[in-house]
Structure 1
Amino acid sequence: MKFYQKLFASKYDSFMTNIEKTLQPIRKELIGNLEGNILEVGSGTGTNFEHYNAKAKVIAIEPSSFMLDKSKAKLPKHTQITTYNLGVVDQRLDSIIKNNSLDYIICTLVLCTISDQNLAFNNFKKWLKPTGKLIVLEHIHAQKKPTRLLYNLVNPFWKIVGDGCNLNRDTNLSIKKAGFKVESEHYFKHSLDFYQAVFTV
């Protein structure tokens, strides 16, 4: 398993090259002007790192040590980014992140892999300030019924190949069900169905 995780991390950026042509401007739009205390959940290979400005104080957590190793090569000198080899439901985070301390939580292409979304969302609400915001850029379950059936059929295989990624999560609905309020949202398609949004607590 570790061998595959290492291989997956080594090939991830090249696999994502085409789709990132679409996602990179969105990443920049969502996080480029953020200031204050920020948690990036599942920072992967550090794709977002270049977009943070000098006034952003970022805690970046990533459960894959192989992904984290790749991300460290992308740490810009002008930003304040601290990385941890942790997942979002790891109890050790409570010693790093205080309640009501975060201005923003960033989730980009990660909520598809988190084993317990509800626990993660509860942690988000606990850690965010009353004025804090949850910012997401995620692929979600297909919006059209025939494609939803296909995603459900393919998902067991996809989850193995994608190192825990689920094709068939209605993450857009799960966040709302958890009690977050939509400030802005946008749906778009690029091979998969995508969702970008900003939520308040």
Structure 2
Amino acid sequence: MVKAVSHPLFARVYPKINAYMEAHGSIEHRRELLAGVRGRVVEIGAGTGANFRHYPAEVEQVIAVEPEPRLRALAERAAGDAAVPVEVRPGRAERLPVEDGSVDVAVVSLVLCTIEDVRGALTEAARVLRPTGELRFYEHVRSQNARAFRWQQLLNPLWRRLGGGCHLTRDTERAIAEAGFAVEKVRHFDFRPEGRPNPASPSIIGIARPPTAGAR
């Protein structure tokens, strides 16, 4: 049985954090993440539904999976204003409520940092993707700068407690590759709202193809 997720403090604060980030550039990151997406989509860990208004018209349906009940309620509200059909479902990344090989795109957006079993979540993403599908990812990651990484390691325990389980030190691109995905495109950058670096500044946006059927 997959345990429930509840982060009441983080769920109350996150909408304000997201609004600040969007006011200083993250909207462009979301648009970059979703550019060219079409067909049937599963968004894993949809949070408040901040991506919904950025899906292109070519998207037939978004299945938005969110385990945290307070965030899911906000996502349900956002789904009503989306330009494409969005169905919000309860569930966790490690056990997606989606059929095998039924989606064209799996989207992970600032969520792999919080998931307990990243490998399990990526295995699930591979399961629900069609062989011709793709994984779209936008995540903050561990710094490649040794000094900055040491700061991330030092801050990580407190960051996790305050940030709903968020990790500062994950090498997400490597995790995607180790799960069998073929990374086709990735852009590394530091996201610095108002020009100010923070422990979660190192970021990636990219596209990966799922493992072949025999490798899953």
TM-score over 0.5 (shorter chain): yes
CA distance in 1, matches of 2:122, 2:155: 26
Are positions 1:82 and 2:87 aligned together? yes
CA distance in 2, matches of 1:82, 1:55: 16
Paired residue secondary structure (1:73): helix
Of residues 17, 20, 23, the one that matches 1:18 is 20
> 2:50 — aligned with what?
47
Question: Under a length normalisation based on structure 2, what TM-score does the superposition of the two structures give?
Answer: 0.84
Please say if residues 155 and 166 of structure 1, whose CA atoms lie closer than 8 Å, have aligned partners that are also in contact: yes
Q: Deviations over 1:9-64 (max 9, x none)?
A: 22212223333232211211221432211110110011001112344211101110
> 1:144 — aligned with what?
145
Between 24-33 and 173-182, the greater mean CA deviation after superposition: 24-33
CA distance in 1, matches of 2:36, 2:8: 33
> 1:59 — aligned with what?
63
Q: Deviations over 1:128-163 (max 9, x none)?
A: 111110000000011111111111111111100001
CA distance in 1, matches of 2:165, 2:141: 14
Please say if residues 65 and 91 of structure 2, whose CA atoms lie closer than 8 Å, have aligned partners that are also in contact: yes
Question: Under a length normalisation based on structure 1, what TM-score does the superposition of the two structures give?
Answer: 0.90
> 1:72 — aligned with what?
76
Paired residue secondary structure (2:151): helix
TM-superposed CA distance for 1:77, in Å, is 5.1
Between 55-64 and 39-48, the greater mean CA deviation after superposition: 55-64
Aligned-pair Cα RMSD in Å: 1.7
Between 16-25 and 168-177, the greater mean CA deviation after superposition: 16-25
Are positions 1:131 and 2:136 aligned together? no
| Count of residue pairs the alignment pairs up | 195
Letter in 1 for 2:156: N
CA distance in 1, matches of 2:82, 2:153: 43
> 1:199 — aligned with what?
208
CA distance in 2, matches of 1:199, 1:180: 6
